[in-house]
Amino acid sequence: MSYFNLKNSLVIDAITCSILFLACVFATAPVAALLGLPTGLVSAAGWIGLPSAALMLFVAGQKNPSRALANLIAIGNLGWVAASFAVLAMFAAQMSWTGIAILIVQAVVVLELALFEAKGAAALPRAAAA
């Protein structure tokens, strides 16, 4: 059995989103300074993490996870990856090298989670038509 099944991937993703929320909302200024990004952007990113984590834990906790919601999470993660590279393109000149490295690494990790979640969602049975 694979350790990276859908439920495990969702829980890991929810943990990372929760850490993002805590760091970016409760330590906005230090995180922004470390990354070289505006505090408003860092705070907004943190607030995105909270409902994302809640949705991920909801789906992971379902006896029969919703294929549609699992796909929504995977697509949302792909959107996060695209937004991460857009932030890099817009703010690279003011970002620290540490910030650039962190941004790229987190985007790659989120992409990997999106792929695991998409694969897990594809393995779920389709909802019965009404």
Q: Give DSSP secondary structure letters for 43-103.
A: HHHHHHHHHHHHHHHHHHH-SS--HHHHHHHHHHHHHHHHHHHHHHHHHTTTS-HHHHHHH
Report pLDDT for 26.
98
pLDDT over threshold 70, residue 59: yes
Report pLDDT for 125.
84
pLDDT tens-digit readout, 80-92: 999 999 999 999 9
Mean pLDDT of 19-37: 98
Report pLDDT for 126.
81
pLDDT tens-digit readout, 94-121: 999 999 999 999 999 999 999 999 999 9
pLDDT over threshold 50, residue 1: no
